[in-house]
Structure 1
Amino acid sequence: MKQATAILSFDTPGRGLCDITRTIADWHRETGIGEGLLTLLCRHTSASLLIQENAAREVRGDIVDWLDRMAPEGRHYAHDDEGPDDMPAHLKATLTGVNLSIPVIGGRLALGTWQGIYLAEHRRAPHRRQVALHLIGT
């Protein structure tokens, strides 16, 4: 059994879904592990990880719009230390999650045909985000 770990950094342009699939897949290939389980952790409380549609860009926009409706900005939050988008960003990360587990089968991430890995930035401003990776297998 082998293991590989890394912490990768990604620059986000502000609110939206950033496709990180290729970077994750490239890292995986470098490990040489062909069968196993990859675990990802977003190391932030106002950003998250999703596996979602990778073909139609409209899906990403619809998800961001839906999250904005579920956790709108406003003065109704007690926590606003970093501005009006701070608490809604925490709620959006709670709704979407910060962990993913992806099987590795036959030397590839076992994603479906139309699936991609996305780092969801829930803040308006650009940020540098970190994702921790742990791969265990053979």
Structure 2
Amino acid sequence: MTAPRTMTRAPVRAASVTHVASSLLTVQTGGAGFLDITGEAAKFIAEAKAQDGALTLFVRHTSASLTIQENADPTVLIDLATVLNRLAPENAGWAHDTEGPDDMPAHVKAMLTATSLQIPVLQGRLALGTWQGIYLIEHRRRPHRREIVLQFLGTTR
């Protein structure tokens, strides 16, 4: 027998989309790893005077990606990197190796994660959970200059 479940939902807030704001975030990576870009996304939302709507983030590369993950315990990111490296190791005999042995695994890792994210914006704030952060994942060993398009659609204050 299962315990009864309780569900509640806030009242519906409806608004017409009246505002589109866009920006390009350029990030210089230091090589493979996770870079927390939550603060930059929040700054963009504040500068756009966003109220209610959605933030879309899109990384303009095929060997880097985006994710929403835990931002409290850094060992989560270490374990995630370990999993990605096991799923797409450098020594798997890839045919595509023109840019080095880490290039094809980087493409696979980007395919397994995401190149875009959409996050609700409610009352001027990103509707992320308490322990959620937005990360750019650099899949290449050497540093790269990465571009992320930020776009808000919604109402402003």
TM-score when normalising by structure 1 = 0.98
Letter in 2 for 1:76: G
Bigger Rg over Cα: 2
Is the counterpart of residue 63 in structure 1 residue 80 in structure 2? Answer: yes
Cα distance in structure 1, aligned partners of 2:50 and 2:133:
20
**Structure 1 stretches of 5 or more lacking a match?**
none
Question: After the TM superposition, which parts of structure 1 deviate over 4 Å for at least 4 consecutive aligned residues?
Answer: none
Secondary structure of the residue aligned to 2:47 is helix
Cα distance in structure 2, aligned partners of 1:58 and 1:131:
25
Cα distance in structure 2, aligned partners of 1:32 and 1:75:
48
Instruction: Find the counterpart in structure 1 of residue 60 from structure 2.
Output: 43
**Structure 2 stretches of 5 or more lacking a match?**
1-17
Match of 1:107 among 84, 106, 124: 124
Contact 1:75 1:84 in 2 (8 A): no
Letter in 2 for 1:66: V
Secondary structure of the residue aligned to 1:35 is strand
Cα distance in structure 1, aligned partners of 2:103 and 2:143:
13
RMSD between aligned residues: 0.7
Cα distance in structure 2, aligned partners of 1:26 and 1:33:
10
Cα distance in structure 1, aligned partners of 2:121 and 2:92:
45
Instruction: Find the counterpart in structure 2 of residue 87 from structure 1.
Output: 104
Cα distance in structure 2, aligned partners of 1:12 and 1:111:
24
TM-score when normalising by structure 2 = 0.86
The alignment of Structure 1 onto Structure 2 pairs a total of residues equal to 138
Q: Matched residues, percent identical?
A: 56
Cα distance in structure 2, aligned partners of 1:81 and 1:21:
33
Cα distance in structure 1, aligned partners of 2:83 and 2:43:
31
Larger relative helix fraction: 1
